Structure 1
Amino acid sequence: MVGPGAADPVDATFWTAVEHQDLDELVRTLGVGAENEKSALSAVLPVLSSWRSDRVEESTVASWRYRIVWNQGPDYGNETRLSGTWLVAVPSALASDPWVAACVGALNDRGARVAVLELDASAVLRTDLAARLGDVVRGAGAGTVGGVFSLLALDESPHPDHPTVPAGVAATLALVQALRDTAAESPLWLVTRGAVSVGVTDVLASALQAQVWGLGRIVGLEHPQSWGGLLDLPDTLDERALARMAGALTASGHEDQLAVRPSGVFVRRLVPAGTGGSTVGREWRPRGTALITGGTGAVGAHVARWLVRGGAEHVVLTSRRGPEAAGAGELAAELTALGAQVTFAACDVADRAALKRLVADLEGRGTPVRSVFHAAGTLTAAPLSETTVADLADTLAAKAAGAESLAELFDQGRPLDAFVLFSSNSGVWGSGGHGAYAAANAHLDALAQRRRAAGLTATSVAWGLWGGGGMVSGAGEEQLERRGVRAMSPELAVTALHRALAHDETTLTVADIDWARFAPAFSSGRPRPLIEDIPQVRRVLDETAVAVDGTDPSAAGSALAQQLATSSEAERERILVDLVRHHVAAALGHTAGEAIDPGRAFRDLGFDSLTAVSLRNRLNAATGLRLPSTLAFDHPSPRMLAQYLRTELVQDGAAAALPLPDQLDRLEETLVGGALDGLSRATVAKRLKALLSRLDETSARSGSAGTKEMIQSADDDELLAFINQQLGRS
């Protein structure tokens, strides 16, 4: 079959005519003349158009499907050695636990100077922790801090002030913030126990600890320079497992999501999950009563319409406002007209008692729930440095605690046809500013795996961007689009959901990603092996290995330095502010830098961590400098960033020294142009001869060949290296 993106223009014209049922265009394209042939074509065209539409739809939905797999990774031996001081953060309640002691002992045995920091995970204060971290760093003395090894996730007890937040998750957030406050850049490793499943026989033990995996992915995005990774360890720590653990900590820095198991070390990957022509596992159709949490929201309403059209006789739509929610009346009328009974319930899904009463009432009315669709959620966007435990609580309450309430109600005693959790890509690969949301969604994916292991139905779909006012709208939708996360048609999104249920999936990612835009920014702060097995990503990263826009950074940097060297101080400021504004606009997807207010904060301009990295890459290419990934956060407005660039490019009122070839080029231009600044030609010639003489003298003292011999025997690279060496330059 010719695909929708066929390159042949005749084929494209043919299929466009079919899709639009344009008989006249189809007749012209096929060269049909006889009336009987036109009549036959007219009869078959609707069928052909419908077939074509179904095939395009199937192909589109299949291209959105991805799944997480765990591949066998490198197996580390006992020869691993650690260096420097390793800070080990341990919940005080587990300080004497043998499993924790085994981890600490393994680090000690392999050369690390271990500094154990015991913390009351339920009462960690960011400022106090930062002070204690500073003491440890200073106490390391001449030794370096080799890394930070956090076991805080192991404390699953509820936070005393925010019971929906595990104490270990709150403590992990405080640790990340305190490390940032102390400007520590040693790699941070977040360690869990049974928080992931690497295969069917590997049972996931803790959905609560899985929250740290969601949170950690945001740490890796927002603080790539100080990120080690996520490491899940088995319940039994024998010598082989401990050796693998230590080896993972000293790996090349490439892998950052690993699991140690008795059979080896596994690494996490996202791969395409097209159906591959496989037959549908079951003919899933909704029946009876369907319970939809967040049912009055945009996504919930789309799901309700799809369920009713598919055969659901009764839909129960829960939200905090119930029938008072905006648009509830119109939605009820629409669903009723389609033949369904509609019940609105003002029920906070995190309120277990209220949810239990609702389910019992439905059963008392003879309408037991046959399927559950958990679409409720709250998104609080903030960088990790500004995220509070209260933010975690608000987000986890609706998403994670609500899902656990539903799972508790619908266990073996209340079998279901479907138990569907609406997760998000933020929990799969992360999204800057979505730390709490990523933690909540990682919990949903883990919960689905836990239910499957217990023999219960469960499907968690990590969604990308729904169009039509779905999970994100307005400026948030535009920002995601710029980053390569395209809005999906809600109609096709529910088709993808139907496919997931028909194939009886446990976890699935559904997103329309423009990898050409997404992958370079996502991978710029550090390697992102998670997505490297996706064919489009490999091609994109190979093609974008050079600098942004194909610019040679060294040439661009030389040209800029020359321009600044011949400019006044006021001109330098204007040049650099305009340069920054231009690249800020490009990073944001705007056409011109004139619209960028140089005094406005990057955050107010719509920046996130990926946009900031994109700006850093562009300025690297434009200046020839090696700028940090935190550039836009350390210098939070275009004007402040321009001032920083001036200090890097200009020293003591003059442009930073140019590479020697550029200095020689400038000297040649000056001599040819006759601009000798009032000096006589004889004086200039004498200075040049003296310089050449110094080169000869330096060569003689070093015992090497003279300048003349060097020039005669050296190629270009050797000659430039020799001159740089003699002038004391690198």
Structure 2
Amino acid sequence: AGQLRVPRLTRLGPPPAEAPGPDLAAGTVLVTGATGLLGRLVARRLVTRHDVRHLLLVSRSGADAPGVAALVDDLAGLGATARVAACDVTDRDALALLVDELPADQPLTGVVHAAGVLDDGVLPALTPERFDAVLRPKVDAAWHLHELTEKLDLAAFVLFSSAAGLFGGPGQANHAAANCFLDALAQHRRDRGLPALSLAWGPWVNDTGDGRTGHVDEARMNRGGFVPLGADEGMDLFSEALRFAEPVVVPVNLDLALIGRHGPAAVPPVLRSLVRPATTGAVRAAERDPAEALRETLAATAEADRDQVLSDLVRTHAAAVLGYASIRSIDAERGFVELGFDSLTAVEFRNRLNAATGLRLPSTLIYDRPTTAALVEYLRGALLAERSTSALTVLGELNKLEHAMRAVASADTDRAAVGARLRELLSLWTYTESGADSAADEGASLESASAEEIFSLLDEEFGSA
């Protein structure tokens, strides 16, 4: 209707007291992905909190999955009967058979679709087959369940989605797309008067027990302000979410202070109604160009100690990407691949070093320079070769100038004056480098150069920030 709309998350208060949640006790609840970690937690929660007495637990491995017999015994001890079925949830006919076989006195009253797989990778590596592997158990299975149950009198139809569909996730284009579909399906069902709830989960605790701070993906999300959920906390949120009327609920633990620490520009748009940005002084400190700070540090450091500065820089970012608690875990002589890097973490590492150094490093960086020592040598050459301390200072000022120039509107009437002044400065710089004769020739061509040509020449001379 001519209105601009943007997505924003808002905090949900306590559910209404008159909203007890769906009544699932009258029949059978079908749980997909039931032999996985989340599926087992859901099965127990349905019995202990929601009085479910009949469960149909579905997974590809079925009763052959490790620990399933113990799970069934535990549920029986809690007063529930659990039938375990091996079924490929992407097979519509197989799912239809399971639903049809339910006894008349135990009709299907609820569905919890928790099945899913991950196959992360940088976008060029995500082939159609790798998209299919992730989308089929999420998307195809959800659509089959929707079609097979839309005529039934369900009390709940719950989809386990992911916050990756809202925030994106490095290397998770396939996963994000699959979960966006689940969120949309929940809205589609609600629009048709059918029960539906999509839970866009944040990360869960995953203690690897190998001395790291957690799984690499968890470490990355922690840096972004996502705090992993514990099992009990997650299941409490599951039970609470069932009482809300919204089709999509986001059970996620966010460190809003951490997210707002770097100023308004760093806050994801979807969170701007929740996050209070840092104070002006903190923002100024956070927004200081790290590449400029690095050049100033190198300029003030004795030549013999510069490699240590760069080594600390490299190992700090390597430890952060890999989820290690300290740079002491990063041996400067060990290969990056040996330390645990893959194609995805290599790209994140390269991006972090780009921001820290102001350089444009290749995506193959850790393969071209496979150890910290080799990378330090490369960075030293790129940052310091044939550059005096005074030149480093000028480069830092140019980096700040570029940020200011990018903020100038294209229609600003003073752009021509800026272009003229840049031509004068570049002519002066060329004169001091090459002498008056060669500078005079080049200065003549600069008089007729466009602003785009000037920026291109600046980029060639000094590199892009």
TM-score past 0.5 threshold: yes
**CA gap 1:495/1:264 in 2 versus in 1, 3 angstroms:** same
Amino acid at match of 1:314: H
- Note if contact 1:482-1:588 (Cα within 8 Å) is conserved in structure 2: no
Are 2:310 and 1:576 aligned? yes
Are 2:195 and 1:457 aligned? yes
Deviations 1:337-385, CA, capped at 9 Å, x for gaps:
111111000011110000001100114x542210000000001111112
How many positions carry a matched residue from both structures? 384
TM-superposed deviation, 1:458: 0.5
TM-superposed deviation, 1:641: 4.4
Please give the alpha-carbon distance, in whole angstroms, between the structure 2 residues aligned to 1:552 and 1:404: 48
TM-superposed deviation, 1:639: 4.5
Please give the alpha-carbon distance, in whole angstroms, between the structure 1 residues aligned to 2:391 and 2:236: 61
Which residue pairs with 2:244 in the alignment? 503
RMSD (Å), alpha carbons: 3.6
TM-superposed deviation, 1:659: 3.3
Which residue pairs with 2:75 in the alignment? 335
**CA gap 1:385/1:521 in 2 versus in 1, 3 angstroms:** farther
Which residue pairs with 1:380 in the alignment? 119
TM-superposed deviation, 1:399: 0.5
Which residue pairs with 1:601 in the alignment? 336
Which residue pairs with 2:226 in the alignment? 485
- Note if contact 2:197-2:242 (Cα within 8 Å) is conserved in structure 1: yes
Amino acid at match of 2:246: E
Which residue pairs with 1:419 in the alignment? 157
Are 2:55 and 1:315 aligned? yes
Deviations 1:388-439, CA, capped at 9 Å, x for gaps:
111100101100100001001011x212000000000111111111111111
TM-superposed deviation, 1:298: 1.0
Which residue pairs with 1:430 in the alignment? 168
**CA gap 1:425/1:552 in 2 versus in 1, 3 angstroms:** closer
**CA gap 1:482/1:268 in 2 versus in 1, 3 angstroms:** closer
SS of match in other structure, 1:274: coil
Which residue pairs with 1:399 in the alignment? 138
Aligned residue runs from structure 1 range 329-368, under 5 A: 329-363=69-103, 366-368=105-107
Amino acid at match of 1:410: T
- Note if contact 2:262-2:286 (Cα within 8 Å) is conserved in structure 1: no
- Note if contact 1:380-1:395 (Cα within 8 Å) is conserved in structure 2: yes
**CA gap 1:326/1:474 in 2 versus in 1, 3 angstroms:** farther
Deviations 1:598-625, CA, capped at 9 Å, x for gaps:
45337934737666655554x25xxxxx
Please give the alpha-carbon distance, in whole angstroms, between the structure 2 residues aligned to 1:657 and 1:562: 13
Aligned residue runs from structure 1 range 422-571, under 5 A: 422-467=160-205, 474-518=215-259, 528-536=268-276, 538-539=277-278, 543-547=282-286, 554=292, 556-563=294-301, 566-567=303-304
Please give the alpha-carbon distance, in whole angstroms, between the structure 2 residues aligned to 1:462 and 1:529: 17
Amino acid at match of 2:69: G
Deviations 1:215-250, CA, capped at 9 Å, x for gaps:
xxxxxxxxxxxxxxxxxxxxxxxxxxxxxxxxxxxx
SS of match in other structure, 2:7: strand
Deviations 1:493-523, CA, capped at 9 Å, x for gaps:
2222222221232001111122344566899
Which residue pairs with 1:659 in the alignment? 393
- Note if contact 1:521-1:613 (Cα within 8 Å) is conserved in structure 2: no
Please give the alpha-carbon distance, in whole angstroms, between the structure 2 residues aligned to 1:330 and 1:512: 31
Deviations 1:657-684, CA, capped at 9 Å, x for gaps:
2437x9xxxxxxxxxxxxxxxxxxxxxx
Please give the alpha-carbon distance, in whole angstroms, between the structure 2 residues aligned to 1:521 and 1:386: 32
Which residue pairs with 1:410 in the alignment? 149
SS of match in other structure, 2:228: strand
TM-superposed deviation, 1:328: 0.3
Please give the alpha-carbon distance, in whole angstroms, between the structure 1 residues aligned to 2:243 and 2:382: 58
Which residue pairs with 1:24 in the alignment? none
Please give the alpha-carbon distance, in whole angstroms, between the structure 2 residues aligned to 1:384 and 1:306: 37
Q: Which of 20, 39, 51 is matched with 1:300 structurally? A: 39
Please give the alpha-carbon distance, in whole angstroms, between the structure 2 residues aligned to 1:540 and 1:586: 26
TM-score (norm 1): 0.47
Please give the alpha-carbon distance, in whole angstroms, between the structure 1 residues aligned to 2:233 and 2:128: 37
Deviations 1:156-209, CA, capped at 9 Å, x for gaps:
xxxxxxxxxxxxxxxxxxxxxxxxxxxxxxxxxxxxxxxxxxxxxxxxxxxxxx
Please give the alpha-carbon distance, in whole angstroms, between the structure 2 residues aligned to 1:373 and 1:541: 46
**CA gap 1:421/1:612 in 2 versus in 1, 3 angstroms:** farther
**CA gap 1:643/1:416 in 2 versus in 1, 3 angstroms:** same
Please give the alpha-carbon distance, in whole angstroms, between the structure 2 residues aligned to 1:289 and 1:357: 15
Deviations 1:120-146, CA, capped at 9 Å, x for gaps:
xxxxxxxxxxxxxxxxxxxxxxxxxxx
Q: Which of 633, 637, 641 is matched with 2:363 structurally? A: 633
Aligned residue runs from structure 1 range 208-219, under 5 A: none
Deviations 1:618-663, CA, capped at 9 Å, x for gaps:
x25xxxxx345xx583523545543443244223375572437x9x
Structure 2: runs of 5+ lacking an equivalent: 209-213, 397-431, 433-461
- Note if contact 1:319-1:348 (Cα within 8 Å) is conserved in structure 2: yes
**CA gap 1:521/1:383 in 2 versus in 1, 3 angstroms:** farther
- Note if contact 1:482-1:589 (Cα within 8 Å) is conserved in structure 2: no
Amino acid at match of 2:157: F
**CA gap 1:563/1:531 in 2 versus in 1, 3 angstroms:** same
Which residue pairs with 2:456 in the alignment? none
TM-superposed deviation, 1:264: 2.3
**CA gap 1:367/1:349 in 2 versus in 1, 3 angstroms:** same
SS of match in other structure, 1:428: helix
**CA gap 1:427/1:583 in 2 versus in 1, 3 angstroms:** closer
Structure having the larger proportion of residues in strand: 1
SS of match in other structure, 2:193: coil
SS of match in other structure, 1:433: coil
**CA gap 1:542/1:318 in 2 versus in 1, 3 angstroms:** farther
More displaced 10-residue stretch of structure 1: 331-340 or 580-589: 580-589
TM-superposed deviation, 1:544: 4.3
Which residue pairs with 1:263 in the alignment? 2
Deviations 1:91-137, CA, capped at 9 Å, x for gaps:
xxxxxxxxxxxxxxxxxxxxxxxxxxxxxxxxxxxxxxxxxxxxxxx
Please give the alpha-carbon distance, in whole angstroms, between the structure 1 residues aligned to 2:220 and 2:251: 19
SS of match in other structure, 1:498: helix
Please give the alpha-carbon distance, in whole angstroms, between the structure 2 residues aligned to 1:323 and 1:469: 26
- Note if contact 2:30-2:111 (Cα within 8 Å) is conserved in structure 1: yes
The structure number with the bigger radius of gyration is 1
Please give the alpha-carbon distance, in whole angstroms, between the structure 1 residues aligned to 2:293 and 2:163: 39
Which residue pairs with 1:125 in the alignment? none
Are 2:125 and 1:389 aligned? no
Please give the alpha-carbon distance, in whole angstroms, between the structure 1 residues aligned to 2:242 and 2:300: 63
Please give the alpha-carbon distance, in whole angstroms, between the structure 1 residues aligned to 2:291 and 2:346: 24
Aligned-residue identity in percent: 32
